[in-house]
Structure 1
Amino acid sequence: MPLHQELDKKLSKIYEPSTRVDDVFKGYDITFLTNKEGEPVTLFFGKRRPDGTISGERYTRVIKRKPNSMEVLSSHWDNQGKIMNR
């Protein structure tokens, strides 16, 4: 299942490089990690537990770049499955 259009738009922005961002989207807790370019590359989506971890779904982003360039040709998010923390 593809990401919600508004969430995909939010994750298309550039953030601080190599950081973790905790946020809320339409009543769900989200956390995403950025790469050294500041692009979100790992997303945790679900319900945040008291220790800060999320129980729900994990997504990873595949980014295809123009050869010998940092220009993004395309990107998409792959669902890596359920994550359940005890």
Structure 2
Amino acid sequence: MKIGYSLLKQLNKKYDPSSMVQRRFRGYDLAMKTDEEGNPILLFIGTADEQGIIKGDRYARRLLKDENGRVVKDHWDYKGKI
């Protein structure tokens, strides 16, 4: 599955810092791990089982900032099936 524009809008929001956030999005279950600023850095997307473990795809975010805190590079890498 590719990350589309509407999902990217959800991923660009701020969430609770250093936590695991679970959501539903267009029939898929999402689990996002956030960094200390509340930016999602890991994404698990697919179907959750009874224990909440998601079977699907895993993505990792490359978020690079300069010394002033401005974002220089921001993209999601596909890391494979989970």
Per the shorter chain, which TM-score range? over 0.9
Query: Could you tell me which residue of structure 2 aligns to residue 76 of structure 1?
Result: 75
Distance 1:2 1:12 in 2: 16
Q: Give the letter aligned to residue 80 of structure 1.
A: K
**Equivalent residue runs for 1:32-47 within 5 Å:** 32-47=32-47
Q: Report the secondary structure of 2:31's partner residue.
A: strand
Gaps of 5+ in 2: none
Superposed, 1:59-74 pairs within 5 Å as 59-66=59-66, 68-74=67-73
Q: What is the alpha-carbon distance in structure 2 between the residues aligned to residue 28 and residue 45 of structure 1?
A: 7
Structure 1 runs of 4+ off > 4 angstroms?
Answer: none
TM-score (norm 1): 0.89
Q: Kindly provide the amino acid, as one letter, of the partner of residue 74 in structure 1.
A: K
Aligned-residue offset at 1:44 = 0.2
Deviates more, 1:35-44 or 1:70-79: 70-79
Following the alignment from structure 2 to structure 1, what is the Cα–Cα distance between the partners of residues 2 and 53?
23
Q: Percent identical across equivalent pairs?
A: 40
Q: Residues 2 and 77 of structure 1 are in contact (CA less than 8 Å); yes or no, is this contact kept in structure 2?
A: no
SS at match of 2:75: strand
